[in-house]
Amino acid sequence: MEVIIQSNPEAAADLVARIVARELHANPHLVLGLATGRTMERVYQGLVAKHREQQLDFSLCSTFNLDEYVGLPSSNPNSYRHYMDQHLFRHVNIDPRNTHLPNGVAEDLERECELYERAIQRFGGIDLQLLGIGKAGHIGFNEPLSALRSRTRVKALTPITLAQNAALFGGEEKVPRRAITMGVGTILECRRCVLLATGADKAEILARAVEGPISGMISATALQLHPRCTVVVDEAAASKLTEVEYYRWIFENEPEWREFRTPQQPGQ
């Protein structure tokens, strides 16, 4: 795992967008794993800007989202399909047939989960998975006590997650109680993952996820097992980490990060 600390939420999201753009340039057939949530909005703004200003090409790329609420059709403004259309898909040249989210209104949810896993396999697995982190330490909707080898399945949301997402639904009681989510095991199979966390309210859980012991109670700790996981944070989210000097040294000195150390110039 490596931790990259940026000065503010904009810079952190911009770095993530640059990582995605670089991977997409290197492999136009990229299979991209996507997350929703407030933190990711800036990343998608960055990718849309790169598409408009630098012709970043999504035409051959495919996407798989982490999760979808059970019971919300794609027409519902709170569905994650709607979120993705709003924030990314309709603004770039991606083929809608190559965009995948679990169907939260499938008649047979168990079958839907199996089919989702199979579809990921059919596309050759996920090359780059974007992740946020919930206040309960979830990645996707892998709530506390998610098995570290879990696969795509229906998961009941914890009170912490219901509270976290209440504002978007106009009250906690309106948040769906269940979601289909890729499992922790599904996520760990991606070739590379990038987790973005910003803001002081993520500092505590982020420190436990990165520097604490691996535990099914905090599914993000499973990322410590991943061979190629980058955690990008702003100063506020980094404020409870203990090894910050070491993390900063790596970003400032390792050749891998050279091109990301200077702000991107227009047209780059």
Query: Which residues make up the interface to ligand F6R (CB under 6 A)?
Result: 35-39, 66-67, 132-134, 138-140
* Cβ nearer to ligand F6R, comparing 240 with 248: 240
Q: Is 232 exposed, middle or buried (0-12, 13-18, 19+ CB in 10 A)?
A: buried
Q: Rounded to whole angstroms, what are the CA distances from 77 to 87, 159, 183? A: 12, 22, 25
Cα(3)–Cα(22) distance, rounded to whole angstroms?
Answer: 18
Length of the chain measured in residues: 268
* Cβ nearer to ligand F6R, comparing 77 with 263: 77
Q: Is 129 within 8 Å of 94 (Cβ atoms)?
A: no
Q: Is 35 exposed, middle or buried (0-12, 13-18, 19+ CB in 10 A)?
A: buried
Q: Is 23 exposed, middle or buried (0-12, 13-18, 19+ CB in 10 A)?
A: middle
The residue to which tokens 């006590």 are assigned: 145
CB of 33 to ligand F6R, least distance (A): 10
Residue nearest to ligand F6R (CB): 132
* Cβ nearer to ligand F6R, comparing 68 with 261: 68
63, containing H or E segment: strand 62-65
CB of 98 to ligand F6R, least distance (A): 18
Which two tokens mark 190? 């991606």
Reduce the DSSP state of residue 238 to 3 states and report it: helix
CB of 141 to ligand F6R, least distance (A): 6
